[in-house]
Amino acid sequence: MPKNTLGEHLRQQGMSRRSFLKFCSLLASGMALSPALVPRIAQALEATRRPSVIWLSFQECTGCTESLTRSHTPTVEGLIFDAISLDYHHTLQAASGHAAEAAREEAMKENFGQYILVVDGSIPLDNPGFSTIAGISNLDMLKETAKGAAAIVAVGTCAAFGGLPKANPNPTGAVPVSDIITDKPIINVSGCPPIPVVITGVLAHILTFGGLPELDDLGRPAAFYGQSIHDRCYRRPFYEKGLFAETFDDEGAKKGWCLYKLGCKGPVTFNACATTKWNEGTSFPIESGHGCIGCSEPDFWDFGGFYEALSRPTGQTGKNAVYGVAAGTAVGAAVWAMNRAKKEEAVRGHEKLTMDELNREGEES
Ligand code: FSX
């Protein structure tokens, strides 16, 4: 771990006190915290040492790293990456071959028990040769590197829940990080890929407070995954009025009506896309005219088709069983009138509710 504190490091880089406080404000907003906490964040950061971060990539498409790097300085992302010591990252590091592996081993040795391990990608269990780095299987590298980690951040739906490699028929026997490592705190930052500001917001939280953010029951930071896309969608008023696009080029689509009937999975997807948006707040899929595909939820590839409306029963269990019966506007509205806690319990607990039960919940609330 670098010997200088973050405050010293940023001052050495020429950052003024004013810019430092602005940096802290950006962190606060990145972590979805109140601006009132900025002085506390500043105080904590002044004294903290930049943590060593080891980033491992297993079975994935590199979309998570691509997402992370889609930023233009001076964004919060750029600043955060001045604030940590990224000691190993397959894609971003300059070193290669033996030198790269030596960097990982050195970082592990020097910072044992203190470094943050970031993992993207799933781990193949069916054959150690399916995915290797420097001749080391993903399974062995994960186990070896996790030993000295203070905490693990599973970035992307592949690392968090298995993702695309685990999709039926899961040819490599892919599993998420949490299936292998059970004795370390794990934060799941799901999304395929995850929103960059959410990745950096989580790192900022660990950096500032030295601990884990509040997590939901899927291990995701509640500040970013606490509400569904549907809850915060700007097209929601059209849903409430029963105004739906029926095709991607009809009048409803042109008027920006709700995409529920075109397969939008916003009602069963918990993520921050509708609020943080993408590309520095430019837009998000629904704003671009395409329904949410549910990429931050477990097994989203097997949900039943990206263009399959939730209103059509799919025969699937879990979330689709809950919302698959939410046919049409009237019942859909009843489901969404459900008490929030009950609704979340139903979604996250994969509880199967019958149509009658859903209607009853809607009427009672
Ligand atoms: Fe998976 Fe990430 Fe999707 Fe790709 O590292 S979450 S396939 S965006 O790259 O792991």
pLDDT of res. 118: 96
Give the pLDDT mean for 292-296. 97
| Range of lowest pLDDT (39-53, 249-263, 282-296, 302-316) | 302-316
**Domain co-membership, 189 together with 205:** yes
Predicted local distance difference test score (pLDDT) of residue 80:
58
Is 275 touching ligand 1 by the criterion CB < 6 Å? no
Instruction: Answer whether residue 347 shows pLDDT above 80.
Output: no
User: Is 158 touching ligand 1 by the criterion CB < 6 Å?
Assistant: yes
Q: With a threshold of 0.85, does the pTM exceed it?
A: no
- Pocket probe mutation, ligand 1, options 61, 67, 131, 293, max atoms within 8 Å of Cβ: 61
2 pLDDT band, cuts 50/70/90, is: low
pLDDT of 108 higher than 70: yes
Answer yes or no: is 338 within a domain.
Answer: yes
Residue 23 lies in a domain: yes
162 within ligand 1 shell (Cβ under 6 A): no
How far away, in angstroms, is 122 Cα from ligand 1 center?
Answer: 9
C-beta 38 within 6 A of ligand 1: no
Q: How many distinct structural domains can be found in the chain?
A: 2
Measured in angstroms, how far is the CA atom of residue 179 from the centroid of ligand 1? 18
Residue corresponding to tokens 């299936």: 179
CATH number of the domain enclosing 162: 3.40.50.700
pLDDT at 96 > cutoff 80: yes
Task: Report the percent of the chain where pLDDT is more than 90.
Answer: 52
State CA 335 to chain mean position distance: 26
Same domain, 96 and 131: yes
For residue 76, the model assigns a pLDDT of 45
pLDDT at 311: 56
**How many Cα atoms sit within 13 Å of 337 on the Cβ side?**
15
Candidates 189, 192, 295, 299: which one to mutate for ligand 1, based on the most atoms within 8 Å of Cβ? 192
- CB crowding 22-31: b at 16 or more within 10 Å, else e: ebbbbbbbbb
Closest ligand 1 atom to residue 66 Cα is: 9
211 and 237 assigned to the same domain: no
Q: What is the CATH number of the domain that holds 290?
A: 4.10.480.10
Q: Which domain holds residue 319?
A: 229-364
Q: How confident is the model at residue 241 (pLDDT cuts 50, 70, 90)?
A: very high
Which residue from 199, 226, 193 is spatially nearest to 295, judged by alpha carbons?
193
Considering the chain, what is the average pLDDT of its residues? 81
Position 71 scores a pLDDT of 55
1 within domain boundaries: no
Kindly give the distance from the C-alpha atom of residue 357 to the centroid of ligand 1, in angstroms, as a whole number: 37
Residue 107 near residue 87 (C-beta atoms within 8 A): yes
Q: Which residue has the tokens 């601006």?
A: 35
Q: 358 and 214, same structural domain?
A: no
238 and 321 both lie in a single domain: yes
More confident residue, 166 or 349: 166
Nearest ligand 1 atom, CA 121: 10
> Within this chain, do residues 351 and 233 fall inside the same structural domain, yes or no?
yes
The answer to whether the CB of 62 is under 6 A from ligand 1 is yes
Q: For residue range 121-178, what is the model confidence (pLDDT) as tens digits?
A: 999 999 999 999 999 999 999 999 999 999 999 999 999 999 999 999 999 999 999 9
Which pLDDT does position 87 carry in this prediction?
A: 86
Contacts of 102 (CB under 8 A, 6+ apart): 95
Query: Does one domain contain both 294 and 327?
Result: yes
Q: Which residue from 118, 158, 188, 189 has its CB within 8 A of the most atoms of ligand 1, so it is best to mutate?
A: 158
